[in-house]
Homo-oligomer: A and B are copies of this chain.
Amino acid sequence: MSYFDAASSAPLHPVARQALLAALDEGWADPARLYREGRRARLLLDAAREAAAEAVGCRPDELVFTPSGTRAVHSGVAGALAGRRRVGAHLVVSAVEHSSVLHAAGAHEAAGGTVTEVGVGRSGAVAAADFAAALREDTALACLQSANHEVGTLQPVAEVAGACRAAGVPLLVDAAQSLAWGPVEAPWSVLAASAHKWGGPAGVGLLAVRKGVRFAPQGPADERESGRAPGFENLPAVVAAAASLRAVRAEAAEQAARLRALVDRIRTRVPELVADVEVVGDPLERLPHLVTFSCLYVDGEALLHGLDREGFSVSSGSSCTSSTLTPSHVLRAMGVLSEGNVRVSLPTTATGDDVERFLAVLPGVVAGVRERLGAPVAAAPREAAAPPPVVDPAPSLVVDARGRRCPIPVIELAKVIGDVPVGGTVTVLADDEAARLDVPAWCGMRGQEYVGEEPAEGGVAYTVRRTA
């Protein structure tokens, strides 16, 4: 059994477990109390703060512990926006931020603020110039992740931070995915992170706010954590989080090199082993341990279950794996294929043998799903399209895939494209949100022309012109 979803939550690091056990005995009392148990708890809390601050690259009094990375983001965004209320109520975020940032932006908008989402290229990265162009006179805050959580692409944080500094706008960096690998090397103003991403326990986030940044914590506060994170400190978990951050940093360079080689193997071999696969995310400027690919004509949920049965735990941005039945906002912003999407994120315990086993089972699992769905035989459409159609092909066809979920609309499209002449069109009627992303993506992969979409009764009409 191989757990390949470290970007979602990493198993507890042995050092974290050890520190947690020790702190359960030594650090259960209230660090605000004056008696010995309280003083001991205070010493542990102070030491954890110093260790975490050193790893983040800030002063201990700039850093507070929050109950989760999500809470760190929510508090960080709200506090920074409120601190610059006089400047304006404009917030800039990238389109591929973690949902916690987008939810905070949504709450800001609901409260009357304005939000600009900066788009990304097909690799998932913002262009620093685009981000800089979104900054305005009334921009109170800008948010950019250090690395994308779904496709691993690193963002140009240093350039964006420079542009923000030039514009006098504070930059909040969501470093949840990258902090295990190293500090954020850029002049950030606010930084958020989450311990269970680096092998620390659940229940601990970090919020760092540089001295001099205007920051007004929102909501009821108390005297704990500099008034920025109310409630009794989750001290044993905080101690474990700090200890494991230090431990993963000590082995980060070695692990990064090792996992990067394993990921490279997946990046190279999957397209060789499985037809009609799109590996997404930047091939070089990326997290070392994470790779994402999408498989044409594959149902993401069936793929996850198939891999789970073979002992592999991965996640997916496909629409069928989300409760809202929409593809992940990251894949949508990138404009890449969303069906049959798989994210592999290797924990530090993953071995080359694990990866070889994964590569050995993947083709069979994909083929099984495709067969059950009646998908066109791999690469067949392109070959079938080569000879001219046999008799009197209709100049245009309409396929009704309303009520059918991803990847059926694209499979139906692929089945009939050979039935129209070159220059003819196929229109797919679909009400599945993934079709908006996957029909154009299919066109790109198949060399067909995507004409566009129009509203249609009970759905949307996506039209494709056969050019190959």
What B residues does A205 contact at CB under 8 A? 231
Quick check: is A329 within 8 A (CB to CB) of the other chain? no
**A201, B236: Cβ atoms closer than 8 Å:** yes
Does chain B have a CB within 8 A of A5? yes
Would you call B36 and A231 a contact (CB within 8 A)? no
Contact B234 A67 (CB under 8 A): yes
**Residue among A24, A35, A99, A219 with the most chain B CB within 10 A?**
A35
Q: Does A34 contact B (CB under 8 A)?
A: yes
Give every chain B residue within 8 A of A71 (Cβ-Cβ).
Answer: 67, 230-231
Query: For the complex, what is the distance from the CA of A221 to the CA of B74, rounded to whole Å?
Result: 9
Question: Does chain B have a CB within 8 A of A321?
Answer: yes
Q: Which of B28, B196, B220 contacts A9 (CB 8 A)?
A: B28
A97 CB to nearest B CB, Å: 12
Let me know if B28 and A24 touch, CB within 8 A.
Answer: no
Distance in angstroms from A178 CB to nearest chain B CB is 17
Task: Pick the residue among B11, B28, B67, B321 that contacts A67 (CB under 8 A).
Answer: B67
Given contacts A74-B220, A194-B232, A220-B107, contact A313 B35 (CB under 8 A): yes
Q: Name the B residues within 8 Å of A1 (CB-CB).
A: 36
Residue in contact with A36 in the complex, picked from B35, B74, B308, CB distance below 8 Å: B308
Query: What are 29 A-B interface contacts by the 8 Å CB criterion?
Result: A3-B29, A3-B37, A5-B29, A5-B37, A9-B28, A9-B30, A12-B28, A24-B201, A28-B202, A33-B313, A34-B304, A34-B308, A34-B321, A68-B230, A68-B232, A68-B234, A69-B232, A70-B231, A71-B231, A78-B219, A99-B222, A100-B220, A100-B230, A100-B231, A103-B220, A104-B220, A107-B220, A203-B237, A223-B323
Known: A5-B30, A70-B222, A99-B222. 7 other contacts (CB 8 A): A8-B33, A9-B232, A21-B21, A34-B304, A35-B314, A71-B231, A203-B237
Show the binding face of A for B, using Cβ within 8 Å. Answer: 1, 3, 5, 8-12, 17, 20-21, 24, 28-30, 33-38, 67-71, 74, 78, 99-100, 103-104, 106-107, 194, 196, 201-203, 205, 219-223, 230-237, 301, 304-305, 307-308, 312-315, 321, 323
